[in-house]
Structure 1
Amino acid sequence: MTTTTYPVRVDGALDDRLNRWLWLVKWVLVIPHLVVLAFLWIAFAVLSFAAFFAILFTGRYPRSIFDFNVGVLRWTWRVQFYAYGALGTDRYPPFTLYDVPSYPAHLEVEYPRHLSRGLVLVKSWLLAIPHYIVLAFFLGGGTWFATQNWEWSVGLVGLLVLIAAVVLLFTGRYPQPVFDLVLGMDRWALRVAAYAGLMVDQYPPFRLDLGGDDPATTRLERRTPQSLPSASPREPTPRMSAGRIVTLLLGITASLASIVGLAVGGGLAWLDLGMRDSAGYVTTDKVTLRTSGYALASEEVTIHDDGATLLRRLFGDARVRVLADDGLPVFVGIANGADVRAYLAGVAYSTVTSPGPYSTTYDDHAGGAPSTPPTELAIWRTQAVGPGEQTITWPIESGDWTLVVMAPDATAQVAVQADFGATAAALTGVWIAVLAGSGGFLLIGMLAVVLAVVRRPEPGPSTLEPASAGRSNESEDIH
């Protein structure tokens, strides 16, 4: 035992003999673990949110949630140690939240009897920022640039593990100094994860504790059932039953679906409350549309009979408003797609394929001028023409439809500002129903997760005490 201790212990024992080639395919072998861990980390986030309020009001981290979250960190560490976080072993990681004494990677967190109610408000987002900066250098990270490119930087851990893998490939040995340094950085990251996960109040030390055996942590005695007087010597290490695993996965799935539903419902509420104008239309932002040809046309939209009924119920009447950039008169109309194709055959015009507030894409068609101005045609289902802003409304109906914007005299160089809207009378009821249903699913999912992780009061491998205290209080109920 050392005089300087930290309540998070991370150990890893380097295998004496590692396969030279196995590391090349470990990225495939860990896929089943990554799938399970994706769900477990969702549960970790949800339960940490619940633990935040428990700590804030009671000063205690609920024990069942604590054991589960430690198990997620432990599982993650075993997978990292096996794969590209260390490449320290060729033994496949077990599928369990509990500690496996025979596996070479271990993580333990001492259960706190009391946590600061004030620190819980600032640990993860403020106090841990200096550590996040260091860990970005150790572990690497992604950056999203204004050019809409995602760039990923490889951290020092990844670089060192790659060097060790290449040395292993040619020599059959993993360089011990590289392993010690990698373990020190991994240990730093996991201490910060436990701190940001609200499991400890002690600030993580700014130092690299090198080596596989954690040199700066109180050794935490694993209180297995065999070490307790009340446990049978033959009692097996606790495992999550199949029913609990199924309940956990169902709860996580329901929680994830509810989060998506809440996002969708929130977006619909924003459309209804924030994008509806004084005329009652939910309206897009204005977009600039322009062509050097004689007409702007939308892509042809096909609406079937049954679809038209549904669209009318959801969106009501559609509206298009256009305003010529030069202040001259403008024509806007909707007609059957076949009639528009016949009218614009051989005409130079542009089809708007993707309108947007910042950029719009077009499909340009070569040709000459139209033989007839649009105002002289009888093909339009609805139309508007004149100076200033022109508006058409259209009760959605079945058929093949195309929207056309032109100069009334069919001259070239068309440039307009346009927006699109719909009455969408049913939108209010839709977002209320989506939010209510998603909120109910979230409660059900969280309840399922809690039921899956809460165990009856019995000692297990994740129940830990400092070794010095554990021997003097073995008969104490650790729950």
Structure 2
Amino acid sequence: MTTYPVRVHGRFDPALNRWLWLVKWLPAIPHYVVLAVLWTAFGVVGLCAFVSILVTGRYPRPLFDFALGVLRWTWRVAYYSFGALATDRYPPFSLGEEPDYPATLDVAYPERLSRGLVLVKWLLAIPHLVVVTIFLGGGGYLAFRAGEWAFSPAGGLVGLLVLIAGVVLLFTGRYPRGVFDFVLGMDRWALRVAAYVGLMTDAYPPFRFDPGGDEPGAAALDAPPPPASSSGPPSRVVPAVIGVLLLLLGTGSASAGALGLWAEQARRDATGAVAAPALTVHTSGYAVELGTAELRWTEAGQAVGEDWLGTVGLRVDPGTFVGIGPAADVTRYLAGVERDRVTGFGDRTAYRHSTGVAPTTPPHAQPFWAATGVGSLTWTPRPGDWTAVVMNADGSRVVDTPVVATATLPALAPLSWTAFGGGVLLLLLGGGLVLFAATRPTRPAAPVRTTIGDEDHA
């Protein structure tokens, strides 16, 4: 019986040192350094293989052997360290097969690969990547982070079970066989997905959990590859995956639209403005800077900006001064004044305090304000850098007041309806594709003919 072309083996060793696993991370550091370089090269090799497969339908054998060597090295280090903790034998610094090491990995070399499938493998693998993320936490052995390929040796459910196995080993001197089998099943799943996403096979990884150190069935890795019509994922997988993605996008879009429509109806006040939740600001000094807004749009697009924001407002306690002015002028006015600047809103407002003295003139006497008010203000946004300031009207110290930001947001309703309608459409399309995939009959496999004597048998 031929198993999946990615074969992962691990030899169980019940006689492990009960203390060594506590410090395995230290001798494994040189391997992690080398693997970081190798996985960067793996990404470059993958891009070269992508072009080759797209043009010729072949994965160049030297590049394939290098990619396989990286997976083998990765699996040996993970098996030794916190991807399994299943051996005390130090892994060799080698890209080769190393058949005598307790952890081995092999991938059948494909003579031909689908040119079209190479374009969508990342999309088809999304359901598997979700599973692998749960298993390994950091995205698995094959992850794409910060624009480069990266290696994640352990984490997630694997990391938790390996930690449990280490604690049991520490106190009993034995590695639990059940934990070993389960961990190897998750590692095997992750490495199958890594090879598929790495373009090393067209055979879609099975949604099957194969626990234990040995692969199920007997291997036939050097057997000829199946015909092109039978390779790759089942015909129902592609519409199912696309349908799930459309359902996710549709849910997000429809939810955002529904939230906007709720705000349009429930958050508008008597003046027609949408009000944000009130936030209390406090300073023992003389002023609170609410932050600087950088508004940028061209003169030709200024109307668009106003159509989006509408009229902006700020409300504070009666008797409290609030003003919006050019950031540079506000900075000059408050230079040397004891004040607080809001640096973040959350469960608690964060500030940056500046020591100083009282302002020389009251805030309402300054000519640079674009909009001011006592208790509230309204302002039509214009391009520039603007800072909002809250002070006592007489310029005295200790400011404590709630602040409510408002905006008329004339574009809120049409944008919300557009997002909601688009989301509903995506949900219908995604649901239709999933239903199509679920009800479409599976293509029957071609009969296998054998010859016994002079007679053919199907």
Scaled to the shorter chain, the TM-score interval is 0.5 to 0.7
- 1:58 Cα shift? 1.8
Say if 2:362 is the partner of 1:361: no
The answer as to whether partners of 2:136 and 2:158 remain within 8 angstroms in 1 is yes
- 2:166 corresponding residue in structure 1: 165
The answer as to whether partners of 1:60 and 1:114 remain within 8 angstroms in 2 is yes
SS, match of residue 10 in structure 1: strand
Whole-Å Cα distance in 1 between the matches of residues 55 and 212 of structure 2? Answer: 39
Whole-Å Cα distance in 1 between the matches of residues 179 and 369 of structure 2? Answer: 74
Whole-Å Cα distance in 2 between the matches of residues 5 and 204 of structure 1? Answer: 11
SS, match of residue 202 in structure 1: coil
SS, match of residue 104 in structure 2: strand
- 1:389 Cα shift? 4.9
Matches within 5 A, 1:188-203: 188-203=189-204
- 1:226 corresponding residue in structure 2: none
Q: For residues 219 and 170 of structure 1, do their structure 2 counterparts lie closer, same or farther at Cα, with a shift above 3 Å needed?
A: farther
Which runs of no fewer than 5 residues in structure 2 stay unpaired?
A: 140-153, 223-277, 292-310, 373-377, 407-458
How many pairs are equivalent?
302
Equivalent in 14, 30, 35 of residue 33 of structure 2: 35
- 2:341 corresponding residue in structure 1: 352
Deviations 1:60-118 (A, max 9, x none): 11323222221211111001110122222111112222222332211111211100122
- 2:74 corresponding residue in structure 1: 76
- 1:22 corresponding residue in structure 2: 20
- 1:46 Cα shift? 3.4
Whole-Å Cα distance in 2 between the matches of residues 336 and 371 of structure 1? Answer: 12
The answer as to whether partners of 2:323 and 2:389 remain within 8 angstroms in 1 is no
- 1:38 Cα shift? 2.6
SS, match of residue 288 in structure 2: strand
The answer as to whether partners of 1:323 and 1:330 remain within 8 angstroms in 2 is no
Whole-Å Cα distance in 2 between the matches of residues 171 and 290 of structure 1? Answer: 57
Q: Letter of the 2:204 partner, please give it.
A: Y
- 1:205 corresponding residue in structure 2: 206
Q: Letter of the 1:83 partner, please give it.
A: S
Matches within 5 A, 1:226-375: 291=281, 295-297=287-289, 325=314, 330=323, 332=325, 333-334=329-330, 340-341=335-336, 344=337, 350-354=339-343, 361-362=350-351, 372-374=361-363
Equivalent in 10, 31, 39 of residue 8 of structure 2: 10
SS, match of residue 92 in structure 2: coil
The answer as to whether partners of 1:375 and 1:408 remain within 8 angstroms in 2 is yes
Deviations 1:397-447 (A, max 9, x none): xxxxx99665886587696979xxxxxxxxxxxxxxxxxxxxxxxxxxxxx
Q: Letter of the 2:111 partner, please give it.
A: R
Q: For residues 29 and 336 of structure 1, do their structure 2 counterparts lie closer, same or farther at Cα, with a shift above 3 Å needed?
A: same
The answer as to whether partners of 1:384 and 1:392 remain within 8 angstroms in 2 is no
Q: For residues 291 and 39 of structure 1, do their structure 2 counterparts lie closer, same or farther at Cα, with a shift above 3 Å needed?
A: same
The answer as to whether partners of 1:297 and 1:405 remain within 8 angstroms in 2 is yes
- 1:467 corresponding residue in structure 2: none
- 1:43 Cα shift? 2.7
Whole-Å Cα distance in 2 between the matches of residues 74 and 361 of structure 1? Answer: 49
Q: Letter of the 1:98 partner, please give it.
A: G
- 1:192 Cα shift? 1.9
The answer as to whether partners of 1:323 and 1:417 remain within 8 angstroms in 2 is yes
- 1:19 Cα shift? 0.9
Q: For residues 371 and 194 of structure 1, do their structure 2 counterparts lie closer, same or farther at Cα, with a shift above 3 Å needed?
A: closer
Q: TM-score, with normalisation over the residues of structure 2?
A: 0.52
- 1:370 Cα shift? 6.5
- 1:50 Cα shift? 3.2
Whole-Å Cα distance in 1 between the matches of residues 71 and 166 of structure 2? Answer: 25
Q: Letter of the 1:56 partner, please give it.
A: L
- 2:100 corresponding residue in structure 1: 102
- 1:6 Cα shift? 2.5
Whole-Å Cα distance in 2 between the matches of residues 173 and 415 of structure 1? Answer: 62
Deviations 1:429-468 (A, max 9, x none): xxxxxxxxxxxxxxxxxxxxxxxxxxxxxxxxxxxxxxxx
- 1:135 corresponding residue in structure 2: 132
Whole-Å Cα distance in 2 between the matches of residues 8 and 218 of structure 1? Answer: 10
Q: Percent identity?
A: 54
- 1:46 corresponding residue in structure 2: 44
Q: Letter of the 1:40 partner, please give it.
A: L
Q: Letter of the 1:69 partner, please give it.
A: A
Whole-Å Cα distance in 2 between the matches of residues 59 and 358 of structure 1? Answer: 56
Q: Letter of the 1:354 partner, please give it.
A: T
